[in-house]
Amino acid sequence: MSAAVLAPRSALLPSLGAVYRAQLSRARVARIPLLFVATFQSLGIMVMLRGVVSTGSGGSARDLEAARAVVAGSTVLVVAFVALNLLAQYFGRLRATGGLDHYATLPVPAASVVLGTAAAYASFTVPGTLLTAVVGCALFQLSWVHLWVLALVVPLAGAALAGVGAACGLLASRQEIATLLGQLGMSAALLLGVLPPSHMPTPIQWLRDLLPSTYGVEALARTFATHPDWAAVAADLAVCAVVGVLSLALATRAYRRAATRM
């Protein structure tokens, strides 16, 4: 018996849009709890640290650095919770339950599945990141002038973290390991992103430099200065972009590998 002829694969962009809309619709029911948990966590961290960090005219330069790190780190943590932690769990569950079979039978490129799912999950972080940044600026008396940079930080840091999260979920041999990797990644984003690097030992600073979310945190923190170093901000965002491309490419390769083994 001759093999059935499958329909030709769709182009990347139309497939990406279709996957994005499907994932957005599927996750719509869980959107409010998702936003609440991710945002409440970051707001709670800022409120807790507000009691130990001085701001305003009575604060030192070290306190000002800490305030910028707390607000920027807590804001990007919302992205890490969704794009890294939840995406690792989602793809780990798909692989463990055979859910990849559904996508493998569709005439869509592997990249569109990974990118569309990552974009849908990252979209849920936008309200939470904006609210966290605004509340953080009010709590720590930081400037609101350059918060427009979130329009760059969220998608670029989100792409980098989503690629890592998807790769963890697709490469993990068991669903429990994917969940563990996602939790460890989010914990690293919390512990290494919220505290300023000058407060850390040198080996921890090196470890912090390996974390993709670090560069999103640094880019946002720099914009709270009176006269931001825009060249340094652009460099941090460029690192996020490069890591995003590489991590999403790795996730796409991992998806193809996992789908062929189903």
Tens-place pLDDT, residues 97-140: 877 777 777 777 777 888 888 888 778 788 889 999 999 999 99
- State the Cα–Cα distance between residues 157 and 151, nearest whole angstrom: 11
DSSP result, 43-56: HHHHHHHHTT---G
Are the CB atoms for 233 and 223 separated by under 8 Å?
yes
Total count of domains within the chain: 1
Phi/psi class of residue 202: alpha, beta or left (left: φ > 0; alpha: ψ in -120 to 50)? alpha
- State the Cα–Cα distance between residues 75 and 190, nearest whole angstrom: 10
- Domain contains 25: no
* pLDDT higher than threshold 50 for residue 3: no
Task: Give mean pLDDT, residues 177-195.
Answer: 88
- Domain contains 153: yes
- Domain contains 3: no
- State the Cα–Cα distance between residues 220 and 224, nearest whole angstrom: 7
- Domain contains 248: yes
Provide the H-helix boundaries in 80-149.
Answer: 87-97, 100-104, 110-123, 125-140
Question: Whole domain around residue 163: which residue ranges?
Answer: 30-260
Give the residue with greater pLDDT, 36 vs 160: 160
Are the CB atoms for 157 and 240 separated by under 8 Å?
yes
pLDDT tens, position by position, 19-64:
888 877 766 665 667 777 888 889 999 988 887 776 655 567 777 8
- Domain contains 208: yes
- Domain contains 228: yes
- Domain contains 89: yes
When mean pLDDT is compared across 102-106, 232-236, 249-253, the lowest value belongs to 102-106
* pTM, entire model: 0.87
- Domain contains 43: yes
